[in-house]
Amino acid sequence: MLLPENMYLVGRIRIFRKGNFFFSDAWEPVFHTEQDQLYIIFGLDPAIYVYENQVPFSLITSFPIELPDYHCFKGAEKYNSDDVRFYGQRRTSGKILNIKKIGEYYLLAYFPGYNVQDTEESFSNNRSPDFWDRMWEKYPTRIAVLDTQGTVINNFVPDGLLAASMLVRNGELWMMGKADGEVELDYFRLFRVGLDVR
């Protein structure tokens, strides 16, 4: 789905309005639609934007979200096409990967991003041979459950499910199961998932 051009010109996008440079998919949007509203998060910017779901897609409201231990790239003041650190932020920066809304709750799948120490080590020539495997385990993709004010009321790593695969059909949440790294299958599994916010 191609989003209307004016969605990229929203004056309230906080992190991208500071005159800094970003890697190309840093602002790639994720969205969820309902009958009369459209919910969007622009890449690594931790804020939810709510639009009317009809032309001209007017902005209704927006609000920042505070995700636990979320480390995102804030942009570079200068750009150099040979700067490995600039492009390497694509791998180490936090990013929102999916947004869904179930009833009164928002569900966000996100990669939390590396902390400062691990980001620095990722660019070091002296990093340990098992560094990337350790980072894969240390920073799994998470799901945050938020209320209508954007307050996080739950935050977890889904067991056996791919967090970024969330989809909603007929008001029900579905997710893909993780593949077994030891067994190759010709199919994938899809699970209907319940939401318990207690």
**Model confidence, pTM:** 0.83
C-alpha neighbours within 13 Å on the C-beta side of residue 34: 15
CA–CA distance, 32 with 169 (Å, rounded to integer): 11
Quick check: 11 pLDDT over 50? no
* pLDDT tens digits, one per residue of 76-117: 777 777 777 777 788 889 999 999 999 889 999 999 999 999
CA–CA distance, 153 with 42 (Å, rounded to integer): 22
User: CB within 8 A of 139, min separation 6: which ones?
Assistant: 111, 112, 113, 114, 118
Question: How many percent of the chain have pLDDT more than 90?
Answer: 39
Rounded to an integer, what is the distance from CA 154 to the centroid of its chain? 16
- Residue 3: band (very low, low, confident or very high) from pLDDT cuts 50, 70, 90: very low
* pLDDT tens digits, one per residue of 110-123: 999 999 999 999 98
pLDDT of residue 16: 66
pLDDT of residue 30: 93
